[in-house]
Structure 1
Amino acid sequence: MTSKSVSGSVVFPPRGDFFNTLKARVDAYFHEHRVEPTGNWKLYAKTLLGYGLIFAGYISLVWFVDSLWAALLAGFALAQGYIIVAFNVMHDGAHGSYSKRRWVNWLAGATMDFIGSSQMLWKQKHNQLHHTYPNIDGKDDDITIGPLMRLSPNQKWYPWHRLQALYAPVLYAMLTMYLGLFSDFHKIVTNKIGNTSLQPKAGWELPWFFTHKLAYFGYTLVLPSFFHPFWQVLLAFVCVHAVFGLVLSLVFQLAHTVEGTDFPLPAEGSNRMPDEWAVHQMNTTADFAPRNKLATFYMGGLNFQVEHHLFHRISHVHYPALSSIVRKTCEEFAVRYLCFPSVRAAVAAHFRLLHSLGRRPAYASPV
């Protein structure tokens, strides 16, 4: 089977009554409750928690651990700090929803630079390409892992995909290391994200990219090597990022690559998608564990992925309240609203999809 990915522009039909009605109701919610759509004290408290775990874990690892168990505990705390900050601080900041102030949003988004990747690249890869074109192969870089995995029925099948549900966690654990050590540099050198050219960069952005990369490698690998054998430093680096990458990958996969979501393409010979943008978001996105407050706290509201995709400039702290508005409006307009009751159910749906996509399609040619 050959790939059916999209390489050119994609056009959605004009906005219809569904999203106009939904947006009006969401705007009315904020007006009636007299709250700002950006972050609040809950988000700021999570910011302190996340950074507290990062600094406590890092300082302990470099200067205070004296046993394997202490190192494991400190490394776990560091990884959890990275996760909480990435889901809650970086994600809202990069979307411009952390604060009303633009410079605060930039600082919050720059957490991506602090933990090894690039806010500049993330904004185009995630904010623009993924949020505009979820599950459209060739436009959404989040479902493109090359020949190693098949995350869409429109992608080429290879024999090893039969086992992808088994080896996927290993690849997921490598995500943040892959971004920080290879993928970001590859995008800069090729000036592309998938099939899409990078946007023109401001004069300071490229120097900043290399400066924060050097700073990251300095505090994660170079500085600790003055106090510990390099092999121990490297092992801690890999273990922390394995936990970080696995959790990050899995949570984002549960939003789109699960049973029940669609992987639409433009009509053949056309660049026009079948559904308007908002309906496309509903058909390609899923919520999960909506009543699990711990999951919502930990994942930065990304279990309310439907609400996030429809209103990504609204902070995640408001998504639980907005979900009832979205669900009611979907019922009125007969628009599908996919929601799994628990994290476990969503994980199971993801791995069932991996297993299904790993089967050889009836029309696939030998590789």
Structure 2
Amino acid sequence: MLPTRGAIITSTAVSTLGPIRQTYAKSDTFPPVARAYTQVSQVAKETGLLARAPWFYAMVGTAIALGMGGAITGFILLGDSWFQLLIAAAFGILLTQAAFLAHEAAHRQILSTGPANDRLARILAAGVVGISYAWWDSKHSRHHANPNRVGRDPDIEVDTISFLDEDAAQARGLRRLITRKQGWLFFPLLTLEGINLHFLGLKHLLFSKEKIKGRALEIALIVLRLSIFIVPVFMLLPLGMAFAFMGVQLAVFGLYMGASFAPNHKGMPIIDANARLDFFSKQVRTSRNIRGGWWATWLMGGLNYQVEHHLFPSMARPHLSKAREIVRDYCKTLDVPYTETSLIQSYAIVIEYLNRVGLAAADPFDCPAASQYRRA
């Protein structure tokens, strides 16, 4: 039987790979957990999990700086050699780790005051990574407020990849061809995400008519970063090798960034624009944790604890694993689904989900009801 409007709009199983993908409508009911967030926050505060961890971040920053120094030294010593592409890959990894730090500074996890964290995040994002902090912060703040909510979460808006059936159905031309196989193309396309992030940030800074705090400073930082990072590459390496170096660095950066953020929400429930959810349910139901402990935390910059990160955005990375135990107990007591998978399983879920959404682009003349029935 076809789903009816007003209840669950879609309910399509992701085979054995993960949870059911649902779109919640405003008439859905949820567990009485309105006070859950207040209670779990109080426990986290009493156990000291909301305290800053400056020494931890000092060590992480030092490790990244030493890695950068090693990569620069290797670049100078190798000279005109195709082994420079290994250095380029190393820079891609190190810059992603720097981006994780910028993300945590933006969430007030590192320093004691908001303005100090903002300054650090802007320096790391624009001056080290080369991405506009103002653009990213606005986008990311909207995502945190309404994860996976239709019309409010910018992370599920169409951008080559379609995350919603209706967006996939409207795809035409080249985008339609991509959408039809977007699950399989997702990770190859991430190699272009580094270029996309730099481009969108610069576009925002240069052409947006809205008032942007720190616009001039960010432009200056990005230009300075370009002169320090890119100019030496093209001065010291043959032209073809220099382009290959930048291509590898950007590809590794984009793939690493995308592969770290993709498991967090893709394939989790999509929330209707008019749905009413309490904060605790909204954040837990739309987020997915990645198992793996300390190695996953280092690999993903703490994003493996996505549920806890969304509940406590200002919680420092070292405290997330302890918060996980508290949140899991509350979810079990309140019968709120708590999703946790392996990294490989999460990628399989993402690919399956995107391919299923991409079916909507198979034939633009299909009857929508028939297409929905076919996908179900």
| TM superposition score category, shorter chain reference | 0.7 to 0.9
- CA distances 1:115-158 after superposition (whole Å, capped 9, x unpaired): 110112221111x2111111123322222243x21113353423
2:263–2:350 CA contact under 8 A, matched in 1: yes
- CA distances 1:50-78 after superposition (whole Å, capped 9, x unpaired): 122123213432x2214646313322322
Aligned-residue offset at 1:103: 5.4
AA partner of residue 213 (structure 1)? I
Aligned-residue offset at 1:190: 5.2
Aligned-residue offset at 1:327: 0.5
AA partner of residue 245 (structure 2)? A
- CA distances 1:216-235 after superposition (whole Å, capped 9, x unpaired): 22123223322222332222
**Distance in structure 1 (CA, Å) of the matches to 2:255 and 2:61:** 21
**Distance in structure 2 (CA, Å) of the matches to 1:226 and 1:67:** 11
**Distance in structure 2 (CA, Å) of the matches to 1:171 and 1:231:** 23
Q: Do the aligned partners of residues 364 and 85 (structure 1) sit closer, same or farther apart at CA in structure 2, a change above 3 Å counting? A: same
1:14-93 alignment runs, 5 A limit? 16-30=34-48, 37-61=51-75, 63-66=76-79, 68=81, 70-87=83-100, 89-93=101-105
Q: Do the aligned partners of residues 145 and 171 (structure 1) sit closer, same or farther apart at CA in structure 2, a change above 3 Å counting? A: farther
Give the TM-score, by structure 1 length: 0.82
Number of residue pairs matched by the alignment: 329
**Distance in structure 2 (CA, Å) of the matches to 1:55 and 1:217:** 17
Say which is worse superposed, 329-338 or 38-47, in terms of deviation: 38-47
SS in 1 for 2:167: coil
AA partner of residue 210 (structure 1)? I
SS in 2 for 1:359: helix
1:167 aligns with 2:167: no
1:153–1:263 CA contact under 8 A, matched in 2: no
1:223 matched to which residue of 2?
232
Aligned-residue offset at 1:287: 0.5
Q: Do the aligned partners of residues 15 and 329 (structure 1) sit closer, same or farther apart at CA in structure 2, a change above 3 Å counting? A: closer
2:259 matched to which residue of 1?
250
Structure 1: gaps (5+ residues): 1-12, 193-197, 268-272
2:34–2:278 CA contact under 8 A, matched in 1: yes
Question: What value does the CA root-mean-square deviation take over the aligned residues?
Answer: 2.5
Q: Do the aligned partners of residues 190 and 149 (structure 1) sit closer, same or farther apart at CA in structure 2, a change above 3 Å counting? A: same
**Distance in structure 2 (CA, Å) of the matches to 1:162 and 1:236:** 32
Q: Do the aligned partners of residues 80 and 294 (structure 1) sit closer, same or farther apart at CA in structure 2, a change above 3 Å counting? A: same
**Distance in structure 1 (CA, Å) of the matches to 2:212 and 2:80:** 46
- CA distances 1:273-297 after superposition (whole Å, capped 9, x unpaired): 32122211112111111x4321112
AA partner of residue 164 (structure 1)? Q
Give the TM-score, by structure 2 length: 0.80
AA partner of residue 56 (structure 1)? G
**Distance in structure 2 (CA, Å) of the matches to 1:84 and 1:120:** 19
1:306 aligns with 2:315: no
AA partner of residue 88 (structure 2)? G
Q: In the alignment, which of 183, 201, 217 is matched to residue 200 of structure 2? A: 183
Aligned-residue offset at 1:364: 6.3
**Distance in structure 1 (CA, Å) of the matches to 2:115 and 2:73:** 28
1:140 matched to which residue of 2?
153
Structure 2: gaps (5+ residues): 1-29, 368-376
1:84–1:300 CA contact under 8 A, matched in 2: yes
**Distance in structure 1 (CA, Å) of the matches to 2:183 and 2:363:** 21
AA partner of residue 219 (structure 1)? I
Aligned-residue offset at 1:306: 0.5
Q: In the alignment, which of 162, 175, 178 is matched to residue 150 of structure 1? A: 162
2:129 matched to which residue of 1?
115
Q: Do the aligned partners of residues 186 and 138 (structure 1) sit closer, same or farther apart at CA in structure 2, a change above 3 Å counting? A: farther
- CA distances 1:52-111 after superposition (whole Å, capped 9, x unpaired): 2123213432x2214646313322322221122222x21111111112144542343121
Aligned-residue offset at 1:316: 1.6
SS in 1 for 2:181: helix
2:205–2:212 CA contact under 8 A, matched in 1: no
1:232 aligns with 2:260: no
AA partner of residue 201 (structure 1)? I
Aligned-residue offset at 1:262: 0.9
1:325 matched to which residue of 2?
326
Identity of paired residues, percent?
A: 21
